């Protein structure tokens, strides 16, 4: 079942999003949460909490619940796993408690970690709650790149297993690039279980400028993080080669 079919099935009831990131500066979670709110969903969003941030507030129709977990950058893989585990426990506890009062019909979980999806177990088992896993980053490749791990490393293999289990558990999976479904399908996830939802700019914030027909130059804009796994080296090399190639 695709993510679109899930959203149509649940109608306009209680919705909930869990994301291991800061909010509202995480753009993908914000676009999705505000889109649900604008279509009549009562949206609760659970995220990290950093110094100076309110534990709870409402923004553009989304009720934000910040959990007592902070992101730590630049540490080893075990530190990341411990941080993920703490957020999983905190988010899973809050999901269960609030579900008893609100009876969520839809819960969307943003990875990493993929196992955060299993924090919805009680609502899923006893409340007929639909679960959507949103894959912002493929965790095996993320850890391989960040910690220089081989494809056969125990951590990498464990993350591939988590990806399969979490995807099978979820009613639907959303991904953010056209490349991800092919990679994930080769790891055993059915293509018809995945829906592509790319990260697009919010037209309310960003106006599309008129093209400059007088300019003879070439401009390349990239809005993501500058990381090896993003493949920017391929883009730059291809651009250079196309410039040298005859028209």
Residue 211 lies in a domain: no
Q: How many domains does the chain have?
A: 1
Check whether 205 has a pLDDT greater than 70. Answer: yes
Domain that holds residue 133: 3-196
State both tokens at 29.
Answer: 């979670």
Helix (H, G, I), strand (E, B) or coil at 115: helix
CA 123 to chain centroid, in Å, comes to 20
What pLDDT shows up at residue 246? Answer: 58
Strand order in the sheet with 130-135: 56-59, 62-66, 42-47, 14-19, 106-110, 130-135, 172-175, 194-196
CATH number of the domain encompassing residue 47? 3.40.50.2000
- In angstroms, the CA 173 to CA 190 distance is 10
In a domain, 235, yes or no: no
Q: Which pLDDT score is estimated for 208?
A: 73
Q: Is pLDDT above 60 for 36?
A: yes
Q: Indicate the range of 105-114, 122-131, 158-167 predicted with least confidence.
A: 122-131
207-233 pLDDT tens trace: 777 776 676 777 777 777 777 777 788
Cα 46 from Cα 116, distance rounded (Å): 12
Place of tokens 């909010």: 23
Whether the pLDDT of residue 158 is over 80: the answer is yes
pLDDT at position 242 is 76
CA 23/CA 20 separation, integer angstroms: 9
User: 51 is written with which tokens?
Assistant: 């110094």
Residue 137 lies in a domain: yes
């Amino acid at each position: 079942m695709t993510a679109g079919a899930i959203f149509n099935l649940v109608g306009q009831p209680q919705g909930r999003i869990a994301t291991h990131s800061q909010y509202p500066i995480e753009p993908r979670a914000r676009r999705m949460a505000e889109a649900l709110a604008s279509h009549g969903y009562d949206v609760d969003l659970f995220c990290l909490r950093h110094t100076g941030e309110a534990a709870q507030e409402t923004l553009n129709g989304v009720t934000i619940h910040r959990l007592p977990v902070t992101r730590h950058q630049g540490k080893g893989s075990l530190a990341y796993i411990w941080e993920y585990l703490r957020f999983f426990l905190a988010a899973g506890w809050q999901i269960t408690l609030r579900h008893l009062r609100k009876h969520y019909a839809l819960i969307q979980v943003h990875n990493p970690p993929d196992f955060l999806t299993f924090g919805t177990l009680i609502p899923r088992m006893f409340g007929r709650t639909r679960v959507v896993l949103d894959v912002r980053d493929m965790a095996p490749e993320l850890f391989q790149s960040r910690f220089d791990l081989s494809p056969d490393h125990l951590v990498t293999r464990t993350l591939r297993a988590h990806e399969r289990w979490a995807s099978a558990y979820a009613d639907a999976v959303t991904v953010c690039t056209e490349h991800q479904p092919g990679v994930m399908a080769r790891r055993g996830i059915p293509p018809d279980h995945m829906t592509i939802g790319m990260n697009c700019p919010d037209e309310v914030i960003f106006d599309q400028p008129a093209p400059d027909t007088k300019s003879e130059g070439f401009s390349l804009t990239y809005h993501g993080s500058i990381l090896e796994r993003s493949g920017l080296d391929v883009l730059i090399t291809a651009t250079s080669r196309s410039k040298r190639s005859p028209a």
